[in-house]
């Protein structure tokens, strides 16, 4: 092919980015991207509007005010906080920061799809360790740690399965990982966790300078469209990650909105509570229908449909429901409004009826199995 010679990894990244964003008219039930279904509170909208009058000026390079507000909200000193244009941007910086020759990153798999892409882009070899019962398998991950390992990522809760590691499991991991290997807890869905046993990076990271925790304003704080995330960790690590970040990448509007969101935190956490309640209702109803759904601590559920995933995603789309399919593996559905969730339950019921009719097995157990095998 003519033209400049670029790295082949860019073609794989281009394929990932090719996904179409469905319009709200075509798909009234947007349950594919783990966003909150609720629009921003008035105070956040006002802060966004107010910031618009100043966009001829560069944003605050250090995002000092936002950093101070996050320090207040987390109880962590500012020197332990690095900001990014979404925690995705911080993940990319993490991979770049460890990308020495022969560097490897150990990740659980299936997990957040950008990890291996960022690894490839940075020239880091991603070592994928299969989940065990839809959960990170700590002993198996430890077996893959070598002198080449520079980064271990734990997605907590795991996207797309919703499972969590306990505090004891993360302690086991941290105790065994060499001190010169960075471990990142990606806690994008932290606010949705209700399991008291679940590990919490904020509480653990002081004990290990090589442990960092990633959080975001994209999910529970409802600012996915504005791109703000942060990392908590050792000041020495934080200073170097800040240095590696793209300057001015967090816009003044994003900074203003995130500050405003922290100030109406209680209001946002009420919505989170609603979503947690809906998660319970949705999962209970799906279990009742006969689907084997892992317990989720995030704002989404995992349907292990295997080879049937593509067909199921299309069936949902016909009903105006967008879900995320992972071909050959399963489908992730975001917990939406009550109406979204009811629409999804109806789609699941219809799917079972269809596949049940074909399989001729009306039993719940049989239905769950036929769900897995349906083409």
Ligand X SMILES: *Cc1c(COP(=O)(O)O)cnc(C)c1O
Handedness of CA 137, 17, 82, 47 (dihedral sign): negative
Question: What does the alpha-carbon distance between residue 313 and residue 315 come to, in Å, rounded to a whole number?
Answer: 5
Nearest residue to 128 via CA among 108, 114, 142: 108
Q: How far is the CB of 375 from ligand X (least distance, A)?
A: 29
Q: Using CB under 6 A, which of the segments 65-73, 80-88, 143-151, 365-373 binds ligand X? A: 80-88
Question: What does the alpha-carbon distance between residue 189 and residue 254 come to, in Å, rounded to a whole number?
Answer: 19
Q: How far is the CB of 297 from ligand X (least distance, A)?
A: 13
Q: Does 229 bind ligand X (CB under 6 A)?
A: yes
C-beta of 140 vs 224, nearer to ligand X: 224
Q: Does 188 bind ligand X (CB under 6 A)?
A: yes
The contact mask relative to ligand X for 136-175 (x = CB under 6 A, - = no) is -------------------x---x----------------
SS3 at position 314 = helix
Q: Using CB under 6 A, which of the segments 13-21, 50-58, 166-174, 217-225 binds ligand X? A: 217-225
Q: Does 186 bind ligand X (CB under 6 A)?
A: yes
Report the residue from 36, 51, 67, 87 that binds ligand X according to the rule CB under 6 A.
Answer: 87
SS3 at position 106 = strand
**Residue of minimal CB distance from ligand X?**
86
Question: What does the alpha-carbon distance between residue 93 and residue 248 come to, in Å, rounded to a whole number?
Answer: 15
Contacts of 74 (CB under 8 A, 6+ apart): 81, 202, 232
Q: Does 95 bind ligand X (CB under 6 A)?
A: no
C-beta of 86 vs 356, nearer to ligand X: 86
Residues 353 and 360 sit within 8 Å (Cβ to Cβ): no
C-beta of 225 vs 328, nearer to ligand X: 225
Biggest CA-to-CA distance, the chain: 66
Residues forming contacts to ligand X in the complex (CB under 6 A) are: 34, 86-88, 112, 155, 159, 186, 188, 216, 218-219, 224, 229
């Amino acid at each position: 092919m003519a033209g400049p010679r670029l790295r082949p990894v860019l073609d794989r990244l281009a394929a990932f980015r090719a996904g179409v964003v469905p319009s709200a008219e075509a798909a009234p039930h947007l349950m594919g991207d783990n966003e909150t279904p609720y629009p921003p509170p008035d105070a956040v909208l006002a802060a966004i509007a107010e910031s618009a009058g100043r966009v001829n000026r560069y944003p605050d390079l250090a995002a000092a005010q936002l950093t101070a507000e996050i320090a207040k909200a987390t109880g962590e000193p500012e020197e332990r906080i690095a900001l990014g244009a979404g925690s995705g941007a911080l993940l990319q910086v993490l991979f770049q920061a460890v990308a020495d020759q022969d560097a490897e990153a150990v990740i659980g798999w299936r997990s957040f799809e950008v990890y291996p892409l960022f690894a490839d882009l940075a020239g880091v070899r991603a070592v994928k360790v299969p989940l065990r019962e839809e959960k990170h398998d700590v002993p198996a991950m430890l077996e893959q740690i070598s002198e080449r390992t520079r980064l271990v990522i734990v997605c907590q809760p795991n996207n797309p399965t919703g499972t969590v590691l306990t505090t004891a499991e993360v302690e086991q991991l941290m105790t065994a990982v060499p001190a010169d290997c960075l471990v990142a807890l990606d806690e994008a869905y932290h606010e949705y966790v209700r399991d008291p046993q679940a590990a919490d990076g904020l509480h653990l990271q002081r004990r290990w300078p090589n442990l960092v925790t990633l959080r975001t304003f994209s999910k529970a704080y409802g600012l996915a469209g504005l791109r703000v995330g942060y990392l908590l960790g050792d000041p020495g690590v934080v200073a170097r990650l800040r240095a590696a970040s793209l300057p001015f990448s967090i816009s003044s509007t994003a900074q203003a909105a995130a500050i405003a969101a922290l100030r109406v935190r209680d209001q946002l956490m009420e919505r989170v509570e609603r979503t947690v309640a809906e998660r319970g209702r949705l999962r209970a109803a799906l279990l009742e229908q006969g689907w084997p759904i892992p317990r989720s601590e995030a704002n989404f559920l995992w349907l292990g449909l295997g080879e049937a995933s593509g067909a199921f995603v299309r069936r949902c789309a016909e009903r105006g429901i967008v879900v995320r399919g992972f071909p050959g593996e399963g489908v992730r559905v975001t917990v939406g409004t009550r109406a979204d969730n009811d629409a999804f339950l109806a789609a699941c019921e219809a799917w079972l009826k269809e596949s049940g009719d074909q399989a001729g097995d009306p039993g719940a157990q049989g239905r769950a199995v036929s769900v897995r095998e349906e083409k």
